[in-house]
Amino acid sequence: NAGVTQTPKFQVLKTGQSMTLQCAQDMNHEYMSWYRQDPGMGLRLIHYSVGAGITDQGEVPNGYNVSRSTTEDFPLRLLSAAPSQTSVYFCASSPPRQGSGRTEAFFGQGTRLTVV
Amino acid sequence: GDSVTQMEGPVTLSEEAFLTINCTYTATGYPSLFWYVQYPGEGLQLLLKATKADDKGSNKGFEATYRKETTSFHLEKGSVQVSDSAVYFCALLSGSARQLTFGSGTQLTVLP
């Protein structure tokens, strides 16, 4: 089972460049999200999606765009990279909520991005 | 808003020592609580969870009990191994929210 797949694993960008971080899941999860991980700050939510065609902002959305044209894919776009966006990025997906249960998130292996 | 406060690291222990990583939370209603583990170079994996007060989550020798009266979910293991070296994150999911709120993470290093 592939689970959540992120590409690339590593990337170096120059300030001002744009790029797209890819995320795909094969579990038919409706909910997907992007986090960034910075030392001492845990994981902070960038954007999330509750289903195809529906996206919303998280805690730190500035400088990032997302779209959700299919259930499987949730790419994250950096419009004009800045050194402050140097971080490790994680994509996650969650299955539908069942009753009063709270479901866990499944994470990709991360993309380590450096902006110089 | 929701928040999670974790014991600051790094934590360094000898093999077979007892481990406690403290976690307290602030949330409305009755959140579900999670511990995630991140091994070097990998993504986060769910270690254990508890969905209501007094539940105990357990996995791989780790345990945590959902204490509503103290709003805590401390992680414990009786005898750590070198292979337990990782970063541990406490997290919560509350109300109608679908996104997790994470603590800042605790780096654990176990020495042989």
pLDDT tens digits, one per residue of A36-79:
999 877 899 999 998 999 999 999 999 999 999 999 999 999 99
- What is the band of A25 on the pLDDT scale with cuts at 50, 70, 90? very high
pLDDT reading at A94 higher than 80: yes
- What is the band of A98 on the pLDDT scale with cuts at 50, 70, 90? low
Structure-token pair, residue B77: 């293991």
* Region of residue A46 (left: phi > 0; alpha: psi -120 to 50; beta: else): alpha
User: In the predicted model, what is the mean pLDDT of chain A?
Assistant: 91
Among A40, A100, A106, the residue with its CB nearest the CB of B104 is A40
Among A4, A40, A50, the residue with its CB nearest the CB of B98 is A50
Residue matched to tokens 């709120």: B101
Whole-angstrom Cα distance, residue B62 to residue B55? 14
Best residue of A33, A66, A102, A103 to probe chain B, by most B CBs closer than 10 Å: A102
CB contact under 8 A, B102 and A104: no
CB contact under 8 A, A107 and B32: no
CB contact under 8 A, A42 and B102: yes
Query: pLDDT > 90: what percent of chain A?
Result: 77
**Ranges A22-31, A39-48, B15-24, B69-78: which has the least confidence:** A39-48
For residue B72, which amino acid is it? Answer: S
pLDDT at A102: 55
Whole-angstrom Cα distance, residue B28 to residue B67? 15
pLDDT at B96: 62
A63, with CB counted inside 10 A (0-12, 13-18, 19+), is: middle
CB contact under 8 A, A104 and B49: yes
Q: Is residue A38 within 8 Å of residue A87, measured between CB atoms? A: yes
Structure-token pair, residue A78: 């950096």
Structure-token pair, residue A52: 């195809």
pLDDT at A45: 92
